[in-house]
């Protein structure tokens, strides 16, 4: 690596060699859990285990009956069907979670891809963090994250937050590395050296350049990450997910209690009707023995089986009373099984024993069926999938969601506190007016200014007091660094002035960067035997330090010109111009550090008015927020008149009496007790400090507001963290601000915030749509499973059929509803309150009316023999365990199952509507995935029924075209019925106090 020039950085050839030698600047991702372990983990679900147990028991009884008793008519289709259905349900959940995990990994890669300012081939340019190589010269500014390990070569007040590496909260000041540099032998420097900078640490203050010595896994952060080897937690439970988990447990309790009750009744009935009971009445010793064993085993099963099962469902059997109630079905189960085995062995009645065991298995399958239907075990997981898909959509809308919770919270925002520059404005800052030497120069006369005596002083003030740079490639000029400073450097470049020559001609001795407290920046240089300080910043801060001004090449008293200067400032503010003032101090005696700010004999050089017009889309976006009952408040560092002019242009401020526009000093005069009331009226907060932002957010929280706060600076981090949703700027934002935020606005555009609110509301509504559908299907299937045994139909739906319904309403339904597009009316509704129940009255009434209607029609179809060929009506006199059961009832049960599925075909459309004035088919053509899923499910259902081989597993037989048409027309009636439910729900909501 010869001919390396530290003033020009690496060449492209050297970059390639260094990358080949030391690798890319990427950390090896943590090792993921093998796919086969994730798949096996799916079988830890208690419900899945119950189903597998049922399949094994069914397999054992069928094998006994076929091979021990010689009954060749029985087959293993039911057992195999359960195994296949469990496998299908498990695989669907497994692949869905794998897809979600890949989407999260993609989002993490995007959010970690930060840009770095690097000197290569003599020019500073922006590159991705992964493209940094050992030997690069990296420029760092306040708020930047250090991209790799290295040593400091240039530093001006450089201070780093190293707490993540050292645990020390006090920022560390950095010194310059003085040893020789050699690309062939990179130095071994650690955190103990003041010249060392570590990857992942943050620049708190000052500026500097460092030389990269270690990249990727060889950095100290990389070594720590490899030592820990812990997977990053990308999925956190959101408040919505927690709320839905609670709802799922409540539904599960009801379903499990119902299942246990039905099982107990069916088992007792089977035992009473068995001839074995009459045989045992003559053997009291056997009765006593069997009863005692049943009691002991039943209590043991509660402790060893039921309690762990309930614990796996997130419920605990802590009370003795609950344990006693849970022991009843267990005791009945053991007693019935013992009676059956007694009949097969000691009682001499093998046929009666096998029949009793089959009846118990049927009761067990019915109970499992009810549990499968009732337990929405996939609900929290599917909500997480919906959140992940929503995050991907928001990313395509320039809203990069860094924290999962933000994609739902932003939809509830009631106040948006937004920055001005780049967010409301175009961030295309251009100097359009300059006041210097007592004369005002519009943009058309800037050439005349170049001939004025004040021009050189202005050039020095811009070039020297700046940390920005220009990257020139062909005819394209790109600003690197602060946008305002970049605009000023472009101004010099357009007027054929080389800013680098001016900057390099001066030896810097001291520097203070601009921040929200100082509102100005300072660079002191040494020129021979004197020092010159260049200041630029807010006019009120600069002018207060000036006693003279530059006019005609001479220093004259500024006092006679103050009125003229103020008139220029007022005119610029009315035209919404951002104004920067420039002055200089020339001192023959060296000034120490911050003492420069105490001087008050500066020479005023110029005022530069910079135009940054409002984005064309902002006024409409602000109006959309106002229609959505979301307040918009502008918080900016600009002067109050300028801020008010921009706010008027954006539609934030209308000049009414109930609107407040304040600057930081006026805001500070409002007491904490009065602030919550005043906070509601504030529309503009100018010359704001980070503490002003934080104080405003706290006041809004006292009013119950959900606050979204934007920020781009390092000092904005506290307000971003404290707000309900922190939004940082992807272009101008510092890495500190991005780390503190929940969402990064990739394009810095206010419209993207409004889009985020729209998608956040849509996410919540889509989850409501999904929940409305799932609970409806749950209710229908569970009522069928509960009512069936009571009216002589022990198994109206098989376990395999119920698992198919579960797949429809869990995974596929979640995917279908999660892609529903935002509705225009969504942004005309009020935000969702924090404590609002996710199941509204309208939804509850829709679920109730539609479910009861479906259940009534389903049993009417079965009892009335609708759509069934003559001679194939359901025979209530045959037990499901009888060999002739399916021969008589298969067509009627197929119609029952098909009617249920077709009801769900139409009800999927129904659940897209949450209000009576909303059509189920609104924007349906824009949701291609929804249409694809619903058509695919219908196609599979038709195949399931019409294909005899598949039908053997799902207890179906082919239906005629006329039967299909009749069923379709009948089930279509659920559309108006559900609308009536929504209408009743709307009436109930109107009656709410």
Query: Which residues have a catalytic role annotated?
Result: 419
Of the candidates 252, 253, 256, which has an alpha carbon nearest to the alpha carbon of residue 368? 256
* Strand-pair partners of 743: 401, 727
DSSP 410: G
173-175-178 Cα angle (round to 5): 165
CB 909 within 8 A of CB 975: yes
Name the phi and psi angles at 111, rounded to 5.
-70, -20
Distance, CA of 350 to CA of 344 (rounded, Å) = 4
H/E run at residue 16: helix 12-22
- Residues 6 or more apart in contact with residue 321 via CB below 8 angstroms: none
Q: For residue 74, give both structure tokens.
A: 């029985």
Q: For residue 688, give both structure tokens.
A: 């704001």
Q: Which residue has the tokens 């509850």?
A: 844
Name the phi and psi angles at 314, rounded to 5.
85, 20
Helix (H, G, I), strand (E, B) or coil at 919: coil
DSSP 317: -
In three-state form (DSSP H/G/I as H, E/B as E, the rest C), the secondary structure along 449-471 is HCCCCCHHHHHHHHHHCCCCEEE
Q: Which residue has the tokens 């993921």?
A: 32
DSSP 865: T
Of the candidates 356, 311, 312, which has an alpha carbon nearest to the alpha carbon of residue 332? 356
Of the candidates 573, 664, 605, which has an alpha carbon nearest to the alpha carbon of residue 449? 605
**CA distances (Å), origin 85, targets 55, 110, 482, 774, 801:** 11, 38, 60, 19, 8
DSSP H helical segments within 23-147, as ranges? Answer: 35-41, 46-63, 77-111
**CA distances (Å), origin 689, targets 549, 652, 714:** 29, 20, 12
Of the candidates 915, 961, 768, which has an alpha carbon nearest to the alpha carbon of residue 243? 768
DSSP 145: B
CB 30 within 8 A of CB 231: yes
**CA distances (Å), origin 753, targets 42, 598, 622, 698, 831:** 38, 42, 10, 21, 15
Helix (H, G, I), strand (E, B) or coil at 329: helix
- Residues 6 or more apart in contact with residue 400 via CB below 8 angstroms: 107, 110, 111, 394, 730, 743, 744, 745, 746
Of the candidates 939, 848, 785, which has an alpha carbon nearest to the alpha carbon of residue 372? 785
189-193-195 Cα angle (round to 5): 85
Provide the Cα torsion 844, 846, 850, 855; round to 10°.
10
* Strand-pair partners of 203: 160
Question: b/e for 353-387, b at 16 or more Cβ within 10 A?
Answer: bbbbbbbbbbbbbbbbbbbbbbbbbbbbbbbbbbb
Angle between helices 885-910 and 799-807 (to 10 degrees): 10
Of the candidates 755, 716, 743, 756, which has an alpha carbon nearest to the alpha carbon of residue 111? 743
Q: For residue 254, give both structure tokens.
A: 């009801």
Q: Which residue has the tokens 């780390």?
A: 739
Helix (H, G, I), strand (E, B) or coil at 248: helix
Distance, CA of 44 to CA of 38 (rounded, Å) = 10
């Amino acid at each position: 690596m010869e001919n390396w020039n530290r003033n020009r950085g690496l060449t492209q050839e050297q970059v390639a060699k260094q990358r080949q030698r030391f690798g890319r600047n990427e950390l090896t991702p943590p090792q993921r859990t093998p796919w086969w372990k994730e798949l096996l983990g799916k079988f830890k679900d208690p419900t899945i285990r119950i189903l597998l147990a049922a399949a094994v028991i069914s397999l054992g009884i069928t094998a006994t009956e076929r091979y021990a008793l010689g009954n060749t008519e029985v087959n293993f289709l039911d057992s195999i069907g359960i195994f296949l259905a469990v496998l299908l349900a498990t695989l669907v959940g497994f692949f869905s979670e794998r897809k979600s995990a890949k989407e999260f990994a993609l989002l993490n890669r995007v959010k970690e891809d930060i840009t770095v300012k690097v000197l290569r081939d003599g020019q500073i340019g922006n590159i991705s963090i992964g493209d940094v190589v050992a030997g690069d010269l990296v420029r760092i500014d306040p708020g930047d994250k250090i991209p790799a390990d290295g040593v400091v070569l240039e530093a001006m007040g450089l201070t780093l937050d190293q707490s993540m590496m050292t645990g020390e909260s006090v920022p560390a000041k950095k010194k310059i590395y003085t040893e020789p540099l050699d690309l062939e032998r990179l130095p071994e420097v650690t955190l103990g050296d003041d010249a060392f900078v570590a990857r992942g640490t943050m620049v708190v203050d000052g500026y500097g350049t460092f030389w990269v010595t270690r990249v990727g896994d060889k950095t100290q952060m990389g070594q720590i990450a490899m030592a820990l080897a812990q997977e990053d937690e990308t999925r956190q439970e959101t408040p919505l997910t927690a709320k839905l988990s609670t709802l799922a447990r409540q539904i599960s309790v009801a379903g499990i209690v119902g299942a246990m009750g039905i099982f107990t009744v069916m088992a007792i009935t089977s035992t009473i009707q068995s001839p074995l009971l009459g045989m045992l009445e003559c053997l009291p010793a056997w009765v006593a023995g069997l009863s005692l064993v049943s009691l002991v085993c039943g209590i043991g099963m509660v402790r060893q089986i039921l309690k762990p099962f309930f614990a796996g469902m997130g419920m605990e059997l802590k009370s003795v009373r609950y344990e006693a109630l849970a022991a009843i079905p267990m005791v009945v189960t053991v007693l019935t099984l013992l009676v059956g085995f007694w009949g097969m062995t000691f009682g001499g009645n093998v046929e009666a024993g096998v029949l009793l065991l089959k009846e118990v298995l049927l009761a067990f399958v019915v109970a499992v069926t009810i549990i499968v239907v009732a337990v929405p075990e996939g609900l929290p997981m599917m909500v997480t999938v919906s959140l992940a898909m929503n995050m991907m959509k928001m990313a395509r809308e320039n809203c990069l969601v860094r924290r999962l919770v933000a994609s739902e919270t932003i939809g509830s925002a009631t106040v948006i506190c937004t920055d001005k520059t780049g967010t409301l404005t175009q961030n295309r800052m251009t100097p359009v007016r300059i006041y210097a030497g007592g004369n005002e120069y519009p943009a058309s006369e800037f050439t005349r200014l170049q001939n004025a005596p004040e021009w050189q002083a202005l050039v020095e003030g811009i070039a020297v007091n700046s940390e920005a740079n220009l990257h020139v490639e062909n005819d394209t000029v790109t600003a690197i660094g602060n946008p305002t400073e970049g605009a000023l450097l472009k101004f010099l470049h357009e007027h054929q002035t080389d800013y680098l020559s001016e900057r390099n001609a001066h030896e810097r001795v001291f520097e203070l960067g601009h921040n929200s407290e100082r509102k100005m920046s300072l660079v002191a240089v040494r020129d021979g035997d004197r020092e010159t300080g260049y200041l630029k910043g807010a006019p009120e801060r600069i002018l207060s330090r000036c006693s003279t001004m530059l006019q005609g090449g001479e220093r004259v008293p500024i006092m006679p010109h103050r009125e003229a200067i103020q008139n220029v400032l007022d005119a610029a503010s009315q035209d919404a111009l951002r104004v920067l003032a420039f002055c200089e101090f020339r001192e023959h005696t060296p000034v120490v550090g911050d003492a420069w700010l105490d001087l008050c004999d500066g020479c005023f050089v110029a005022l530069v008015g910079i135009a940054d017009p409002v984005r064309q889309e902002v006024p409409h976006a602000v109006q959309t927020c106002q229609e959505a009952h979301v307040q918009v408040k502008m918080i900016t560092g600009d002067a109050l008149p300028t801020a008010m002019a921009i706010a008027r242009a954006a539609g934030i401020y209308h000049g009414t009496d109930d609107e407040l526009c304040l600057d930081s000093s006026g805001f500070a005069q409002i007491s904490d007790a009065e602030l919550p009331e005043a906070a509601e009226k504030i529309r503009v907060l100018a010359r704001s400090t980070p503490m002003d932002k934080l104080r405003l957010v706290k006041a809004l929280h006292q009013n119950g507001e959900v606050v979204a706060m934007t920020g781009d600076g390092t000092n904005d981090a506290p307000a971003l963290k404290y707000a309900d949703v922190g939004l940082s700027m992807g272009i101008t934002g510092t890495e500190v601000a991005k780390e503190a935020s929940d969402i990064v606005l990739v394009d810095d555009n206010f419209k993207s915030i409004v889009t985020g609110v729209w998608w956040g509301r849509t996410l919540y509504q889509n989850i409501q749509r999904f929940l409305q559908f799932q609970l409806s299907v749950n209710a229908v299937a569970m009522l069928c499973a509960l009512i069936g045994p009571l009216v002589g139909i022990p198994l109206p739906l098989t376990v395999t059929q119920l698992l198919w319904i579960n797949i429809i309403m869990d995974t596929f339904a979640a995917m279908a509803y999660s892609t529903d597009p935002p509705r225009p009316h969504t942004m005309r509704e009020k935000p969702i309150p924090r404590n609002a129940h996710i199941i509204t009255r309208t939804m509850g009434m829709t679920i109730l009316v539609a479910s009861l209607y479906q259940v009534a029609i389903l049993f009417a179809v079965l009892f009335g023999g609708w759509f069934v060929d003559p001679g194939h009506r359901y025979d209530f006199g045959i037990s499901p365990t009888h060999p002739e059961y399916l021969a008589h009832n298969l067509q009627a049960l197929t119609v029952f199952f098909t009617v249920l599925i077709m009801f769900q075909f139409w009800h999927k459309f129904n659940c897209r509507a949450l209000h009576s004035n909303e059509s189920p088919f609104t924007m349906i053509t824009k949701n291609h995935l929804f249409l694809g899923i619903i058509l695919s499910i219908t196609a599979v259902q038709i195949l399931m029924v019409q294909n005899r081989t598949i039908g053997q597993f799902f207890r179906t037989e082919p239906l005629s075209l006329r039967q299909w048409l009749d069923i379709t027309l009948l089930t279509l009636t659920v559309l108006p019925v559900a609308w009536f439910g929504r209408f009743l729900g709307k009436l109930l909501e109107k009656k709410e106090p």
